[in-house]
Amino acid sequence: MTEDRLEDRFCDVRSRTEALAAPLSPEDQTVQSMPDVSPTKWHRAHTTWFFETFVLDDTELAARYDPSFDFLFNSYYELVGPRFERARRGLLSRPGAAEVGKYRQQVDARVLELISHGLDPRHHDRVVLGLHHEQQHQELLLMDIKHVLAQHPQPVAYVGRVAAGPGDQAGRLGPVPLPGGVVEIGADGAGFCFDNELPRHEALVAPAIVDGTLVSCGEYLEFIEDDGYERPELWLSDGWGAVNAGGWDAPLYWSFTEGSWRRFTLHGTEVVRADDPVSHVSYYEADAYARWRGARLPTEFEWEVAAGGQPIAVPFALEPPPTTAGPGFFGSVWQWTQSAYAPYPGFQPPEGAVGEYNGKFMVNQQVLRGGASITPEGHTRPTYRNFFPASARWPYTGFRLAHDAR
């Protein structure tokens, strides 16, 4: 990427974050509704700290906007230094949202000056990594503020829903048969990828069938109505424990009121629509539903093979489009897979603190594929490996089913 293109991309990504935060008040931006959620202003500050620390620090433009920010806005980079406790980020009333905006502007000016002087390959790659990192936080910002606004005793919309036209109802994609055999998995090195997508390697896939369409809200309602949340035989042990500890009886944000199921969305509370893909379900819920259907979740390798050749270009939307709007392999909801998040054979994290980006989390997580409606463009590539704990429900998580070939 040339310096001119990199400068334009830097400005686009950084301004996008501010546009996502614009509908929110300073008070909205400070709330932390649970330990896994970060305040909006923290996302804005942390992504700025990333550029200040990993791009600017060893250049002639190195200067700390405020040395205390190293402690306040470091996320998990142990080699950089100590950090403020994640679960208590909502207690950071200072700096305020406006001061974070000034911080962003000052660091932006220095990064743009650095780009204008010409970058060596190492700093070029760090800027590119920082932009992809910020795009990840754009998605986190939206799913986190959704959880924050859902706690309000009255329905609170992030933004109102704009009436949509009829759209292109492409219909459902049929089952995707996998003949089985040795397949190549992972990024091929053409274009940006995260380290956890490498190295490209061979994997053995057994003959199977992967559903072409995501499980819908209407289909999931059948599971609820068949007492799915009350039948321990359907659940993994840890999942059954989570159901009972959390009082789960439906996906996150769902409630049964006035004789119908409703759910909270970024547009406010709406009636559950049967054709929408079910979202905000944990791995445990996806696995239990699959057992109830006599099916299973696909492995991440089966998913990657089945998704090959499927359309990737999808419009950004604050809530997932109906399952009738297209095949839905990409850009609807992140899809749980059967695969534990583990390193590929031969995986080597980068040296230094930036090597803590992915590798240190390769335990007690499940892989998700495909991207969500709020996922930034470019993060819905077939090899992208997202990951969350099996109990996570606040991300835009759904699933499709797979079946062993008979």
Q: State which residues form the domain around 86.
A: 3-150
Which of 169-178, 248-257, 289-298 has the weakest average pLDDT?
A: 169-178
Q: Give me the percent of the chain exceeding a pLDDT of 90.
A: 84
Question: Measured between alpha carbons, how far is 264 from 251 in angstroms, rounded to an integer?
Answer: 11
In a domain, 211, yes or no: yes
Give the number of other CB atoms < 10 A from CB of residue 357.
Answer: 18
Q: What is the DSSP letter of 304?
A: H
Question: Measured between alpha carbons, how far is 343 from 196 in angstroms, rounded to an integer?
Answer: 7
In a domain, 365, yes or no: yes
171: left (phi over 0), alpha (psi -120 to 50) or beta: left
Residues 272 and 194 in one domain: yes
In a domain, 155, yes or no: no
Tell whether the model's pLDDT for residue 20 goes beyond 60: yes
Reduced to 3 states (helix: H, G, I; strand: E, B; else coil), residue 306 is: helix
In a domain, 192, yes or no: yes
Tell whether the model's pLDDT for residue 305 goes beyond 60: yes
In a domain, 117, yes or no: yes
Residues 229 and 296 in one domain: yes
Q: What average pLDDT does this structure show over 92-115?
A: 98
Split at pLDDT 50, 70, 90, the class of 170 is low
The tally of domains found in the chain comes to 2
Split at pLDDT 50, 70, 90, the class of 166 is very low
Give the number of other CB atoms < 10 A from CB of residue 245.
Answer: 9
Residues 62 and 208 in one domain: no
Residue 257 phi/psi, 5° resolution? Answer: -140, 145
Tell whether the model's pLDDT for residue 169 goes beyond 70: no
Split at pLDDT 50, 70, 90, the class of 258 is confident
Report the mean per-residue pLDDT for the chain: 94
Which of 141-145, 168-172, 313-317, 341-345 has the weakest average pLDDT?
A: 168-172
Which of 45-49, 191-195, 311-315 has the weakest average pLDDT?
A: 311-315
Tell whether the model's pLDDT for residue 346 goes beyond 90: yes
CATH number at residue 51: 1.20.120
**Which strand ranges, in their side-by-side order, compose the sheet holding 366-369?**
386-388, 366-369, 334-340, 397-398
Split at pLDDT 50, 70, 90, the class of 186 is very high
Q: What average pLDDT does this structure show over 84-105?
A: 97
Say what the pLDDT of residue 358 is. 75
In a domain, 162, yes or no: no
pTM assigned to the model? 0.95
Say what the pLDDT of residue 4 is. 87
Both tokens of residue 102?
């000034």
Identify the sign of the CA torsion 137, 140, 142, 145.
negative
For residue 373, give Cα distances in angstroms to 164, 168, 256: 15, 16, 25
pLDDT tens digits, residue range 24-50? 999 999 999 999 999 999 999 999 999
Looking at per-residue confidence, does 4 or 172 come out higher? 4
- Please say which residue of 96, 115, 150 terminates a domain: 150
Task: For residue 168, give the H/E element and its range.
Answer: none
Residues 213 and 66 in one domain: no
Looking at per-residue confidence, does 360 or 201 come out higher? 201
Split at pLDDT 50, 70, 90, the class of 171 is low
Tell whether the model's pLDDT for residue 400 goes beyond 70: yes
Tell whether the model's pLDDT for residue 84 goes beyond 70: yes
Amino acid at 346: G
Question: Measured between alpha carbons, how far is 252 from 250 in angstroms, rounded to an integer?
Answer: 7
Tell whether the model's pLDDT for residue 397 goes beyond 80: yes
Residues 186 and 327 in one domain: yes
pLDDT tens digits, residue range 354-372? 777 778 888 999 999 999 9
Split at pLDDT 50, 70, 90, the class of 163 is low
Residues 250 and 289 in one domain: yes
CATH number at residue 395: 3.90.1580.10
In a domain, 283, yes or no: yes
In a domain, 46, yes or no: yes
Q: Where are the alpha helices (DSSP H) in 247-354?
A: 283-292, 300-307
